[in-house]
Structure 1
Amino acid sequence: MKKSLIALAVLAASGAAMAQSSVTLFGVVDATYAYGSGSVSNKSQLTNSGYNSSRLGFRGVEDLGGGLSASFWLEAGVNNDNGTGGVTNTNNQAATSTGGGLTFNRRSTVSLNGGFGEVRLGRDYTPQFWNLTVFDPFGTNGVGTTQTLNSSLGGPTTVRASNAIGYFLPGNLGGFYGQAQYYMGENNSGTPNKKDGNGLALRAGYANGPINAAIAFSETKFLTGNIKSWNLGGQYDLGVAKIMAHYSNDDIKNGNEGTGFLIGGLIPVGAGEVRLAYSTYKIDTVGADPRSNKIALGYVHNLSKRTALYTTFARVSNKNGAAQALNGSVTAANRNSTGYDFGIRHSF
């Protein structure tokens, strides 16, 4: 009888511990028919992530008591048009990009959370990327993606960084938010490029009511020239529409400097939403200063909370030697390129 009581007590304690933790499977499957036309060649393809990035992920949290919790997040990019996984970068240096299999290239982190905020370790978005995607009506996905990202000189850490140590402020600061991130290239000492891929980035913002605004700074070290980036962005919700804008600057030491901006908006229409944006990016060089200007217009129709149909049109014009092209097409310098997306997104 005593052994039975002990066994029941152990089971009850185990059940209580399990009740304090949870694991969630989540993902997005987004299929896109994409067409691009340029002065040199056109391209037609079935691809993915025209509205939201296709992904498969696992996340979980455990209540440690006393206001503390531990959590993890593993998120893999998925190319659902051909079944492969997304590429990744192991040390913030472009030459080491690998992929094809299912890798947790989008995010791979473990965190400790409490009243002090969150300490997050692993591969994650960089602070300098958040303003580009949050304040872009197209969320940096598909043919409508802001030109401040497509033409960016920000290098391998423009979007994500591996080997990162991050800190996020707690969410009870009256609308103020912020983060700091240090990431490492992990090269051996005693080599000329020992600091390649090392970087530090900061972001601070305020979101309350209809207003959301933030500014970010970063510097990533490279033997060929450190890259300093900064950007700022904002959004205002008018009720009938959300207007947003951002400005971006990328400066390579003893090299080129790129500057650009976006202005756009989101307009609810029945069960859907109209998306529109104008973005531009110019690279200051010794000679001509190539510039690409893009206009983008799209519509998303929500069939449910998880399923949506969408279409996007974009056109980029190039000047001073720029040759940006859309959806895999090729265009000559100073010529235009046009692209279309038609797709369906399902999330779970």
Structure 2
Amino acid sequence: MKKSLIALAVLASAGVASAQSSVTLFGIVDATLAYGKGSVANKTQLTNSGYNSSRIGFRGTEDLGGGMNASFWLEAGMNNDNGTGAATSLNNQASGTSTASAGTQGLTFNRRSTVSLGGGWGELRLGRDYTPQFWNLTVFDPFGTNGVGTSQVLNSSLGGPVTVRASNSIGYFLPGNLGGFYGQLQHYRGENASNVANDGTGSAIRLGYANGPINVALAYSSTKYSTGDIKTTNIGGQWDFAVAKLMGYYDRDQISGGATGKGGLIGALVPVGPGEIRLAYSTYKNDLAGTPKTNKWALGYVHNLSKRTAVYATYAQARNSGGAAQGLNGAITAANTNSSGYDFGVRHSF
């Protein structure tokens, strides 16, 4: 249960009767015993985020009256296995990506740092946020892009620094009263000087429909880079059969004048008592020399001890070809050889 830290009722001026403000502390602590096996080297580690990404955050909303509201969201990723924070990007480019040096990196609000205005017309959101092209990769992945079972599309993506999040973004979200239709439009800036390449600047859009058992969405993005603009298109969907949720997506990344990557996922979530079985098959390849390709199978189980606490186990195997050398959970494997790994962990949310 989320804990409200502050609940205030303040009288506003100019004839507005009152406005309410609230600030909430929230977070997840997820510890994972992870093992990876490869043809060159194996690795065992106590890490984090095998089920849900570990984080701590603050969010708040103020009622402005007349159906309007203002809100903020500050969310920091954290490595609870060693106490460090997580890296972020200043400009959606490799040159602006900070490193999370062990023992020196404090909390960074890398996951989300936004301020918003909302109403019946939708929401205007400013700051660092998830990109539209990422949502289909995580919403329609049974493993939620976490742990050893994470989709191979995300592991091998050619989508560049904005595959997951973008800094310096301006976003608009459709209101939630459109009969199941939803959407997000986002523009993000690399913020380079006018006399250098406009790297890291781009725009993206996502449109979807969710009603009853069905949820489908299409996303497209285009980001400028001097090494070749990156364009990503993906489409995903889910159907809830009550006894199981089937889901999947297709993704295509193209670098102008360069490589093209294609991949997809098909998977399922099957409720079993107080828990859930997770199953996924994902694949990704590009047209570089040899046509590197990796296929991955993943099987997992989550057992809910309460609404806030769960234990989980996941096993995955990656098969490489065409020169690919994807190792799981930090293992090192030679080109065209297999790798496997497992996660055992506990997740607590607050």
TM range (shorter): over 0.9
Instruction: Give CA-to-partner distance per residue, 1:188-210, whole Å, 9 cap, x none.
Output: 0112x2x1000000000000000
Q: Hey, what does 1:223 align to over in structure 2?
A: 226
Answering whether residue 53 of structure 2 is matched by residue 44 of structure 1, we say no
The aligned residue for residue 312 of structure 1 is 314
1:301 positional shift: 0.1
Deviation at 1:96, TM superposition (A): 1.8
Aligned: 1:291 with 2:293 = yes
Q: TM-score, normalised by structure 1?
A: 0.94
Listed as ranges, the matches of 1:1-348 within 5 Å are: 13=11, 20-98=20-98, 99=100, 100-191=105-196, 193=197, 195-285=198-288, 287-348=289-350
Q: What is the distance in 1 between the residues matched to 2:61 and 2:153?
A: 35
Partner AA of 1:21 in structure 2? S
Q: How many angstroms apart in 2 are the aligned matches of 1:21 and 1:160?
A: 28
Change in 2 beyond 3 A, CA 1:66/1:226: same
CA distance in 1, matches of 2:18, 2:60: 12
Q: Structure 1 75/229 Cα, relative in aligned 2: closer, same or farther at 3 Å?
A: same
Greater C-alpha Rg: 1
Change (3 A) 1:18 1:55: farther
Distance 1:71 1:49 in 2: 27
> Which amino acid is 2:73 matched to?
W
| RMSD across aligned positions (CA) | 1.3
SS at match of 1:20: strand
The percent of aligned pairs where both chains have the same amino acid is 71
Q: Deviations over 1:9-30 (max 9, x none)?
A: xx9738x988611000000000
Amino acid in the other structure paired with 1:131: N
For 1:36 and 1:261, how far apart are their aligned partners in 2? 23
SS at match of 1:153: coil
Counterpart residue type for residue 154 of structure 1: G
Distance of 2:52 and 2:282 partners within structure 1:
20
Q: Which amino acid aligns with 1:155?
A: G
Give secondary structure in 2 for the equivalent of 1:104: coil
Q: Which runs of 5+ in 2 are unaligned?
A: 1-8
Letter in 2 for 1:332: A
How far does the alpha carbon of each residue in 1:204-248 deviate from its partner, in whole angstroms, 9 at most, with x for none? 000000000000000110001000001000000000000000000
Q: How many residues align?
A: 334
Q: Report the secondary structure of 1:259's partner residue.
A: strand
5+ residue gaps, structure 1: 1-10
Give 4+ residue runs of structure 1 displaced > 4 Å after superposition: 16-19
